[in-house]
Amino acid sequence: MIYPEPIFRPMGDRALLVETGDRVDPSVNRKVRELFAALRQVPVEGVLDLVPAYRSLMIVFDPLRISLATLERQLLLLHESADPSELPQPKTIEVVVRYGGEEGPDLEWVARYHGLTPEEVIRLHTGTVYRIYMIGFSPGFPYMGELPDGLITPRRETPRVKVAQGSVAIAQNQTGIYPVSSPGGWQILGRTSLCLFDAHQWPPTPLEMGDFVKFTAV
């Protein structure tokens, strides 16, 4: 559910979590995006960074420049006055994926787990348009949902020490893409050549929170 008033959870003396709801849900996530957009529009003195996530916005601030009490007061005002119509129009991005084989080492396991053929798994994965709930874990990693019920799969029992850059993966009811080679515990279905993060471009990611992604098999 969406909370009528956000729940504040301070994290130490320089961060505050603002929770907008109790679950992963488009309307709860939208409220986070509204607060995030409002804070970017009217910057608050002393706020250093904003990390929007599934159902919360983390605000990093300088406690010598703004007190927790003042920050919470400002946020309550913004929460009431945030105008949903001011959110930018989302884009839908097509991500081309090479499924299976060396680039999708878990495709067969996922298929067996669900009693499906690999082709059916690919059809299920490419058949839904996914919402990007947040970018996190590493620069450019998109957390997207939800997977169709028939594809809800646990993480790997043993995470991989090294997941290749561009790996397209699933875990529980979410799907994601690894922007760089890193350790990872998600099930790898395939790989894309799309560059997910470039620190020398603006914006540094082609995918943003609130956008939609459609996977296509090649």
Partner 1 sequence: MKVVKALEILLPGPLTTVQDLGRYGFGCYGVPPSGAIDSFALRAANLVAGNTGGEACLEITLTGLKARILTDLVLAVTGGDLQPQWNGRPLSMWEGHSAKPGDILSFKGTKSGCRAYLSLGGGISLEPVLGSRSTNISSGFGGPEGRALQKGDILYSESPHLHLGRAGVSLDKDRIPHYGQEWSLRVLPGPQHEDFPGTAMGLFMSSSYAVTRQSDRTGIRLSGPPLHRSTGLAESIISEGVVPGAIQVPGDGQPIIILVETITGGYRKIATVISADLPLLGQMKPGDRVKFVEVSREAAFEALRISEELLRSIAQRT
User: What is the binding site for partner 1 (CB under 8 A)?
Assistant: 9-15, 17, 23-24, 36, 48-58, 60, 63-64, 68, 134-141, 143, 179-180, 182, 197, 199-200, 203-205, 208-209
Q: Which is nearer to partner 1, 200 or 218 (CB)?
A: 200
- What's the CA gap between 96 and 164, in Å, rounded? 16
Q: Which is nearer to partner 1, 68 or 124 (CB)?
A: 68
Q: How far is the CB of 160 from partner 1 (least distance, A)?
A: 15
Q: How far is the CB of 38 from partner 1 (least distance, A)?
A: 14
Q: Is-contact 34 55, C-beta < 8 A? A: no
Q: How far is the CB of 209 from partner 1 (least distance, A)?
A: 7
Structure tokens at 141: 């990693």
Q: Which residues contact 156 (CB under 8 A, 6 or more apart)?
A: 106, 185, 186, 187
Structure tokens at 148: 């169709």
Q: Which is nearer to partner 1, 67 or 81 (CB)?
A: 67
Q: Which is nearer to partner 1, 111 or 187 (CB)?
A: 187
Q: Which residues contact 38 (CB under 8 A, 6 or more apart)?
A: 78, 81, 82, 83, 86
